[in-house]
């Protein structure tokens, strides 16, 4: 039974668009008993080419919005926003923040060829966090970086396969394969939606590294260790635990969320005027 003292924490999750749903999916499957808020900032998507100040401002506005809706912990489910804004968010808000870190460490450790590929946005590749991670963990490993220009927009449009998608993916992934990469890190939360198309190009000998499961595990640790939180038992079905918000069109978010969890009702999707 539900313990009266236990409190189901509300977890806020945001991304520049629908990409963060790849992280939400892992979190919900690991912790189905929490309440979740997901915000897709699709009106401002993609974040990759935007100046840092602009991304910080969006992150501030979104964080305030999610806290206003009851979020007690926030997952920045966007590599670009993590790189640009998480330091500022931690300084300005009291809730804990979990960010995305490109999974360079496991890729470098598990690479047999000594070559890894990183597919990410410009904002991530230029970010301090990413570059520190590469220095620390990819020492002695060749890192082939490619900016995945145009891929985020394709995912937002639901074009997860097809001529255009394949053309771009080949353009970015072939140079990695040519240099002998046996691990490819997906450095943007939109990219796991392209996994099938990517695997068509790489075949089975290349490992595609998605950081989302590690982020979900880290979130669980943070929540479990928190003093003011006891694990609640949410009696809701998984498709009822999340409220979705978007600054863009509802259809995009509905379509992508229902690819993961088909039973989510229309009443769970809301426009966010922020």
Residues labelled catalytic = 78, 188
Q: Per the structure block, which two tokens stand in for 27?
A: 């979190």
3-class SS of residue 11:
strand
Residue 235 makes CB contacts below 8 A (sequence gap 6+) with 2
DSSP type of residue 32: T
Phi and psi torsions of 61, nearest 5°: -60, -45
How many Cβ atoms sit within 10 Å of the Cβ of residue 61?
Answer: 15
Residue 64 makes CB contacts below 8 A (sequence gap 6+) with none
Q: Per the structure block, which two tokens stand in for 176?
A: 């990695």
| Structural contact between residues 128 and 154, judged by C-beta atoms closer than 8 angstroms | no
Distance CA 155, CA 165 (A): 9
Distance CA 91, CA 35 (A): 25
Distance CA 149, CA 23 (A): 21
């Amino acid at each position: 039974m539900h313990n009266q003292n236990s409190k189901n924490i509300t977890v806020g999750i945001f991304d520049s668009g629908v990409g963060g749903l790849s992280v939400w999916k892992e979190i919900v499957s690991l912790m189905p008993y929490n309440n979740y808020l997901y915000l897709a900032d699709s009106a401002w998507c993609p974040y990759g080419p935007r100046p840092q100040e602009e991304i910080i401002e969006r992150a501030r506005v979104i964080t305030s919005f999610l806290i206003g809706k009851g979020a007690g912990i926030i997952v920045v489910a966007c590599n670009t926003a993590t790189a640009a804004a998480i330091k500022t968010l931690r300084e300005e808000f009291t809730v804990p923040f979990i960010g995305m870190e490109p999974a360079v460490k496991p890729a470098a450790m598990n690479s047999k060829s000594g070559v890894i590929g990183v597919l990410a946005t410009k904002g991530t590749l230029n970010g301090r966090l990413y570059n520190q991670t590469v220095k620390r963990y990819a020492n002695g490993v060749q890192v082939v970086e490619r900016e995945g220009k145009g891929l985020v927009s394709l995912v937002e449009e639901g074009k997860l396969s097809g001529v255009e998608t394949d053309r771009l993916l080949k353009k970015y992934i072939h140079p990695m394969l040519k240099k002998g990469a046996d691990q490819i890190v997906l450095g943007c939360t939109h990219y796991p939606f392209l996994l099938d198309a990517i695997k068509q190009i790489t075949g089975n000998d290349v490992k595609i590294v998605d950081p989302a499961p590690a982020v979900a595990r880290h979130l669980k640790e943070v929540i479990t260790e928190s003093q003011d939180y006891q694990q609640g038992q949410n009696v809701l079905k998984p498709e009822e635990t999340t409220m979705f918000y978007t600054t863009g069109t509802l259809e995009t978010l509905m379509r992508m969320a229902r690819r993961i969890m088909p039973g989510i009702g229309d009443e769970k999707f809301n426009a966010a005027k922020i």
